Amino acid sequence: MVSSSGTESRRVTIHDVARSAGVSRQTVSRALNDKDEIDGATKQRVLDAARELGYRPSRFARGLVRQDTTTIGLVIPDLLNPFFTEVAAAALEAARARGWHVVVYDTADRAEEEFGTLQVIASQVDAVVGYFSCSEQDLERFTRGLPVVLIGREHHTGRFSSIRIDGEEGVHTAVAHLVAAGHRHIGMLDHDGRAEPSVRREWFATAAAAHGIAADRVVGAPQSADGGGTALRKLLGTHPEVTAVFTFNDIIAIGALREARRLGRSVPEDLAVVGFDGLQLGTLVEPPLSSVALDTRRLGALAIDQVARLLTGLEPLGADDLVVRAQLRLGGSA
Amino acid sequence: MVSSSGTESRRVTIHDVARSAGVSRQTVSRALNDKDEIDGATKQRVLDAARELGYRPSRFARGLVRQDTTTIGLVIPDLLNPFFTEVAAAALEAARARGWHVVVYDTADRAEEEFGTLQVIASQVDAVVGYFSCSEQDLERFTRGLPVVLIGREHHTGRFSSIRIDGEEGVHTAVAHLVAAGHRHIGMLDHDGRAEPSVRREWFATAAAAHGIAADRVVGAPQSADGGGTALRKLLGTHPEVTAVFTFNDIIAIGALREARRLGRSVPEDLAVVGFDGLQLGTLVEPPLSSVALDTRRLGALAIDQVARLLTGLEPLGADDLVVRAQLRLGGSA
DNA sequence: TTGAAAGCGCTACCAC
DNA sequence: GTGGTAGCGCTTTCAA
């Protein structure tokens, strides 16, 4: 924090204003905080002096004595990914409704950034919300006693809260929809991020099994539209019999949609596509994307709500309430 | 700010830790801040006590004495609008590089929200960056002496800095491109937000005039894809001779693209479309959007750079450097 | 209506 | 290596 006036410039304090206005510091405080136990003329004189000197109260000093501002740290892997943007927007809105401030951190999808972010954040906020890929142990190491709410990730120690994303039923419905439309050979474009297959793929496998169809036509894709396109081509190369695909998320699905068009496959006739997330973005493409949709607003709001409980010592929500269920939303791509 | 442990719970201070570890407060401080003038065993004992008690330093007390954390307030009209998201992401990145914190505020595109936001923000940050629709007078009233950098808006008092967006040349190139492709009847889908026509429309008019074509086929559109679609239909209804459109921004252009497809007009053969902004989103649609593109990364970085100068008393950048020029980027839609 | 004093929680600077 | 003291800039008693 540095003063803005050009040269040298010590910070202008309440003391300077007091001296300049010929009153005491507490009178300055009264004038600035709109207390009524002050003479109108005095108040005006103080206000003028303050403006004159370019005085601005120190948020630290004020925070120290008033202990009433709450700041949440929101950690997002990638703000350019529309899904996270939607969650962030929802969280911001929920926080604003409570008069809270939200400091946003974008870890740029790099796990290494997380530690730095955590370190820097932990000393500056009252609670942390967001996505982390590091271990709970590391998380604990950096956040000490801070309330932490994880999104889209299970927690295994009692130390944390987490908002669970449950797409089992939604994916089941999606597969049922595809099967009802006559599809028997359904592929999946999974993400290729981690070593182990995604939970979404497990949901897909379960749903496929329930309908007596195979779930082994899976290709990994980077979480981008280009990645989705490439993956689709690879999938169709290996499994030309495929007439429908379910994807890890909407970004990948949109890439697949585009690729299908390039391959001369019309959607949904020649190839049905179902995404996951239910992004607003999905409504912009043609045909609009069918997707197993998540209520991102609820997701963000729920996280903030849980933080509020943690912060005020209210009874926190239990695991059963900390769930966002996905639902199939039909666009036209399937 | 409230303690997180359930009942009653006064804040755990450095004093408590000191007493519990049987040392003085400054020794605790040393242990926690990793100073080397401390005995290893003592340090461990202090750390243990701190963990035991769930101690977390007060950021206000620390900030008060160390005066070294910088926090920027970033005000965005709508985080769900990809353009602002890109700018925000760029600003976050630039700020992170400096070790600054960024508090993000979304005014939800409502002018009324601005005052509240400004009030709340002004006392919590060291500088403000972003989009505002209120008067400079109001801006000054709330921000007092705070450094303020406006984006995409001219300032008229010396009080503020602003990053200017210059699309004149880019739009000229775009119109030239359309004309070279044989288009003589070019319409525009402007935004319908304000009373007066947009600057982008003026650029369009200037460019059209330079090529000796009319620029009076203009329809207003809400800043959404649906809005763009509706506006295109209206435009083609009134001016069926139109074979190309320039739009206020990419969102509107994408809506127009979609509508064109629904109307059975193939793009770019039957209708050429050129947007403005150059969003990544434009590459996801088919055909990829041609757009007068802005370097949003540079925009965000420039804003943060100027804040840095203002904050440190360095010579601020002048108007000539605070410009982001738009350039035509061809996709396939024109 | 105003001012003096105390103290929020922490770190820096000096003694020891 | 450790502790005492002072003070960061502000608000909140309490007296005048």
Question: For residue B10, what pLDDT band results from cuts at 50, 70 and 90?
Answer: confident
pLDDT class for B158, splitting at 50, 70, 90? confident
Interface test with A, best of B67, B92, B284 (most A CBs within 10 A): B284
What does pLDDT average to over chain B?
A: 92
Scanning every strand, the nucleotide with its C1' closest to B30's CA turns out to be C11
Q: In chain A, what residues touch B223 (CB-CB under 8 Å)?
A: none
Write the burial class of residue A152 (CB in 10 Å: 0-12 exposed, 13-18 middle, 19+ buried).
middle
Q: What is the pLDDT of residues B109-124, one digit of tens each?
A: 888 888 989 988 989 9
Q: What is the pLDDT of residues B61-78, one digit of tens each?
A: 999 998 889 999 999 999
Per-position pLDDT tens, chain A of length 334: 333 333 346 789 999 999 999 999 999 999 998 888 888 899 999 999 999 999 999 999 999 998 889 999 999 999 999 999 999 999 999 999 999 999 999 998 888 888 989 988 989 999 999 999 999 999 998 888 899 999 988 888 888 999 999 999 999 999 999 999 999 999 999 998 766 788 999 999 999 999 999 999 999 999 899 999 999 999 999 999 999 999 999 999 999 999 999 999 999 999 999 999 999 999 999 899 999 999 999 999 999 999 999 998 899 999 999 999 999 999 999 9
Domains of chain B: 14-65 (1.10.260.40), 71-166+296-325 (3.40.50.2300), 168-294 (3.40.50.2300)
Q: What is the 3-state secondary structure (H, E, C) of chain A?
A: CCCCCCCCCCCCCHHHHHHHHCCCHHHHHHHHCCCCCCCHHHHHHHHHHHHHHCCCCCHHHHHHHHCCCCEEEEEECCCCCHHHHHHHHHHHHHHHHCCCEEEEEECCCCHHHHHHHHHHHHCCCCEEEECCCCCHHHHHHHHCCCCEEEECCCCCCCCCEEEEEECHHHHHHHHHHHHHCCCCCEEEEEECCCCCCCHHHHHHHHHHHHCCCCCCCEEEECCCHHHHHHHHHHHHHHCCCCCEEEECCHHHHHHHHHHHHHCCCCCCCCCEEEEEECCHHHHCCCCCCEEEECCHHHHHHHHHHHHHHHHHCCCCCCCCCCEEECEEECCCCC
Decide if B263 touches A, using CB distance below 8 A. no
What secondary structure letter does DSSP report for B120? H
**Residue A104: predicted pLDDT:** 96
Whether A14 sits with its Cβ under 7 A from any strand D atom: the answer reads yes
Distance from CA of B52 to the nearest CA of A (A): 10
pTM: 0.92
Interchain contact, A105 vs B86, CB within 8 Å? no
Residue predicted with more confidence, A2 or B22? B22
Q: How far is the CA of B45 from the C1' of D8 (A)?
A: 28
Q: Is the pLDDT of residue B18 over 90?
A: yes
- Residues A299 and A277: their CA atoms lie apart, in Å, by 12
The pLDDT assigned to B194 comes to 67
